[in-house]
Structure 1
Amino acid sequence: MAPRANWKGFLKVAELSCAVGLYTAASTSDRIAFNTLNRATGNRVRREFLDSETGAPVDREDQVKGYEVGAGDYVALDPEEVAAAVPESDRTLAVSAFIPCGEIDDTYFDRPYYLAPADRDAREAYALIREGMRATKVAALARTVLFRRVRNMLIRPHGAGLIATTLNFDYEVLPAAEAFADIPDIKITGEMLDLAEHIIATKSGTFDPATFDDRYEATLAEVVKAKAEGRRIPKRKAAEPGKVVDLMTALRKSAGGGRKTGKTGGKAAPAQRKAR
C-alpha cells in the first residue's frame, strides 16, 4: 500500500510546474510508547486541565491561548484570532533560487521529506527538474505553507527522487560562538598531531545506518517482554569510572603503542597556544 502524502501541491520552477506530494522520510512512530496507569487499579488515567488558582477543571470549550506579557498578565486569543495568523496557501512549492549543494549549514536542517510526483502526468517534468539539478550539482531553495506555517525548504536529488528538508529560521538557530566561547586556541603539532592523524586513518570507514543499534529501545523491549512473561528483570551494571590517562599515552596506546614518527623522530611535541 502506497504511503499517504502529508502535503500535496505543485513544485514550480519559473513557468515549469508538476504535481508533487511530500511523504514522511523519518519517523519515531515505531518506538516503544507508554500509557500512564493508576498503579492501584491498572486503569489508564486521563489528563485534565485545572484552573491554577481555583483548582477547578476547565472544559475544552473554555480553554483559550494566552501570551504572557507580564508576571501573571496574559493576552487571551480566541481560536478565530489565532487562525487569522495562518497564511493563505496556494499549494505551491515555489523555487526561489538554486544554490551549491553544500552551501547551507547543517544546523539549519529541520525535518526531511520525500518529494515525489503526485500522478503520472507529472513524472516527465519532475524528472527534468531532478536531472537538471543533478547535472549542475545544485539544490533548490523553495517556500510553501506547510502545517499552517510558511516554511523554507531545501530540495536535493536523492536516487530516483528528491528530498525536501524543512529549514530552521535564523532566529531558531543559536549562535555557535556562545557554545564555543570558552574553548582555548591551542596549536597541536608534532607527534601528537601525527598520532591523531594515524588513528583517524586506521578508523576510516563508510556511513551505513543499518549498523546503528538503538540500545535503549532494544533494552526497553526486553524489559517489557520479561515483565509480561513474569521473568526477573536483570539489573543494569553500573558503568565503571574512566581512568585518568595522560593524553600522549592514550594516543600512543590507540595508535598501537609508542610508534616512531618520521616528522618528530619519536619525540613528543607538547600542545602549544597560539600567540594572540
Structure 2
Amino acid sequence: MAAKANWKGFLKIGEVSCPVALYTAASASERIAFHTVNRATGNRVQRQFVDGETGRPVDRDDQVKGYEVGRGDYVMLEADEVAAALPDSDKTLSVTAFIACGDIDDVYFDRPYYLAPVDRHADEAFALIREGMRAKKVVALAQTVLFRRVRTVLIRAHEAGLIATTLNFDYEVRSAVQAFEDIAAVKIGDEMLDLAKHIIATKQGAFKPEEFDDRYEAALADLVKAKLEGKALPARPRAAPPKTTDLMAALRESAGFGAKAAAKKPMAPARRKAG
C-alpha cells in the first residue's frame, strides 16, 4: 500500500518548481495505547466538558476558546475569528536560503518528514534539486503553511529523496544558560583524560537504530499477554545498586586496568608525537 501524504504542494527554488509531497517519517502510532474503562461495567469512559465552577456539563455550542489575561479573566475568541487569523496557504515550499550542513544547531529540530516527487513528471526537477544540494554539501531553508501554521523547514538530501524537518521557533527554544549556570569549572588531569579517551576508543561504533529496544513497550506487551492468558504478572528485575567508588578507580576499571594492576604499574600518559 502506498504511503499517505500529509501535505502536497510545490518545492520552489527561484523559477524552478517541483510538485512534491510530505510523508510522516517518525510516528508513535505503533505504540501500545490504552483506553479508560469503567471497572464496574467494562465500558469505555467518555470525556465530558464541565463548568469549572458549577460542575454542570457544557454543550459544544457553548464552548469557546479563551485566552487568560488575568486570574479568571478571559478574552473569548469565536471559531470563525480564530479561523480568520490563520495564514493563507499557497501550497508552496519556498526555499529562502542554502546553508552549510552543520550551520544549524539540532536543538531547533522538531519533526522529520520524507519529501518526494508526486509523479514521474516531477522526477527530473526533483533529482536536479537533490543532487545540486548534495554536490554543494548544503541544506535548504524553506517556509510554507503546514498544518495551519507558517513553518520554517530544513531540507536535506537523503538517499533517493529529501528529508524536510520542521524547525522550532526561536522563542520555543529555551536558553541553555540556566541549565548550565551551576556547572563548576573543573580541571581534568592528564591521566584521567587519557583513560577517558582510551574508554571512548574501545567503545567506538556505529548508530544502528534496530538494536535499540523500547523496554517499556516490551514490558507492556508482556503484561497484556500475561493478563490475557491468566498467568502471573512478570516480575520487574531489580537493578543492582551502583558501586560507590572514586572517579579514578571507575575509569581504570572501565578501561580494563583493575585496582591490582594499577597498583603495580600506573598507566603511562599517551605519548605525544614530536612536532
Whether TM-score is above 0.5 comes out as yes
Q: How much has 1:264 moved relative to structure 2?
A: 7.8
CA distance in 1 between partners of 2:66 and 2:92 (Å): 32
Percent identity of the aligned residues? 69
CA distance in 2 between partners of 1:40 and 1:32 (Å): 23
Q: Mark the runs of 5 or more structure 2 residues left unpaired by the alignment.
A: none
Q: Secondary structure at the match of 1:49?
A: coil
Q: Secondary structure at the match of 1:222?
A: helix
Give the partner amino acid of 1:263. P
Q: How much has 1:234 moved relative to structure 2?
A: 2.1
Which runs of structure 2 are paired with 1:102-121 in the superposition (5 Å)? 102-121=102-121
Which runs of structure 2 are paired with 1:30-109 in the superposition (5 Å)? 30-109=30-109
RMSD of aligned Cα (Å): 1.2
Contact preservation (8 Å) 1:194, 1:261? no
Q: Secondary structure at the match of 1:84?
A: helix
Q: Secondary structure at the match of 1:188?
A: coil
Normalized against structure 2, the TM-score is what? 0.94
Which runs of structure 2 are paired with 1:216-235 in the superposition (5 Å)? 216-235=216-235
- Asked if 1:136 is matched to 2:160, the reply is no
Give the partner amino acid of 1:46. Q
Contact preservation (8 Å) 2:226, 2:234? no
CA distance in 2 between partners of 1:243 and 1:135 (Å): 51
Residues 203-242 of structure 1, C-alpha deviations (whole Å, 9 max, x = no match)? 0000110111011101110100110111110221333332
Q: Mark the runs of 5 or more structure 1 residues left unpaired by the alignment.
A: 266-276
Which runs of structure 2 are paired with 1:116-127 in the superposition (5 Å)? 116-127=116-127
Q: Secondary structure at the match of 2:20?
A: strand
Q: Secondary structure at the match of 2:75?
A: strand
CA distance in 2 between partners of 1:41 and 1:238 (Å): 36
Match of 1:207 in 2: 207
CA distance in 2 between partners of 1:88 and 1:95 (Å): 18
Residues 63-82 of structure 1, C-alpha deviations (whole Å, 9 max, x = no match)? 11100000110011010111
Q: Secondary structure at the match of 2:145?
A: strand
Match of 1:274 in 2: none
- Asked if 1:15 is matched to 2:15, the reply is yes
Normalized against structure 1, the TM-score is what? 0.94
Give the partner amino acid of 1:40. A
